[in-house]
Amino acid sequence: MNKLLPLILLPLCGVAAADDGNVPMMPDGSRDMYVGVALSTSGAAAAGENRPVSLRPLLQVEWSNGVFLSASGVAGMNLSPVAGVEYGPLLAASNSRSPDDNRRLRGSHTIDGTLDAGGYFNYYLGDDARVTSRLIYDTSAHGLRCDVGVQKSWSSLAPHHTFSLSAGVSLADASVMRERYEVSRAAGGPRDYTPSGGVAELNAGANWNWALSSKWLLTSGASVTRLGGQAAASPVVERRGFLTVYSGLAYRF
């Protein structure tokens, strides 16, 4: 198993991540297929998010033909025949939302939880550092969002332990930003607000893996997200930044 899935999933997951506190909890650096569960908690950045501690699945599978799948709702295929470069098509599940879900969402748009499609490109700067990117067409908003990130890993700090740091930026065009953050007074919102395209959010994260045995892996981490100015100024946004923390146990096979 190569490092494809952690590289796609560790960078910011796009605008949808700002709406539900969802965090990719893939054990970074793992080259095996695995399944498990994790506890996650997050401070909400916008109305309608789940704040309490929640139990989430951990899943990573990649077949020999390059097709991969994860529990975070991402699937795709690696088409690159060259070591150090990965690219291919990508499908990503998105979260639905209704103005009726929360009082703070009054006057906002309904978001359909449709499947989004796009592609990704990862470039390795050596065995322990890489640049990642993906471009996704949002089928609900009929617009584009782009995620770009960097990651550095350390696997020799201590036996059986791997540590990584990552940072990323998510960009979205006006259609995506309006669906997520536009508010209309005529539709019941507190005021009119129409954002433009630009930076949707920035993030930074840390991940620690502990190989308890050849089969069991303990993964823990935290990520900090800060919304861009256009998103943060929306009436649906409760606060601009939030922290997500998770820890889970996975079985490798």
Please, are residues 107 and 141 in contact by the beta-carbon 8 Å criterion?
no
For the chain, the structural domain boundaries read: 4-252
- Sequence-distant (6+) residues with CB within 8 A of 159 are none
Mean of per-residue pLDDT scores for the chain: 84
User: In this predicted structure, what is the pLDDT of residue 56?
Assistant: 87
pLDDT at 2 over 70: no
Closest residue by Cα to residue 122 from 64, 73, 202, 66:
66
Question: In whole angstroms, what separates CA 181 from the centre of its chain?
Answer: 18
Q: What is the pTM of this model?
A: 0.83
Give me the percent of the chain exceeding a pLDDT of 70.
84
Q: Is 31 helix (H, G, I), strand (E, B) or coil?
A: coil
Report angle CA 248, 96, 110 to the nearest 5 degrees.
155
User: Tokens 């979260």 belong to which residue?
Assistant: 95
The sign one gets for the Cα dihedral 111, 245, 213, 86 is positive
Q: pLDDT tens digits, residue range 52-100?
A: 778 888 888 888 788 898 888 899 999 999 989 999 999 999 888 999 9
pLDDT at 38 over 50: yes
Is domain 4-252 given the CATH code 1.20.1250.20 in the classification? no
pLDDT at 7 over 60: no
Q: Which of 15-19, 215-219, 232-236 has the lowest mean pLDDT?
A: 15-19
User: In this predicted structure, what is the pLDDT of residue 177?
Assistant: 97
In whole angstroms, what is the distance from residue 10 CA to residue 22 CA? 12
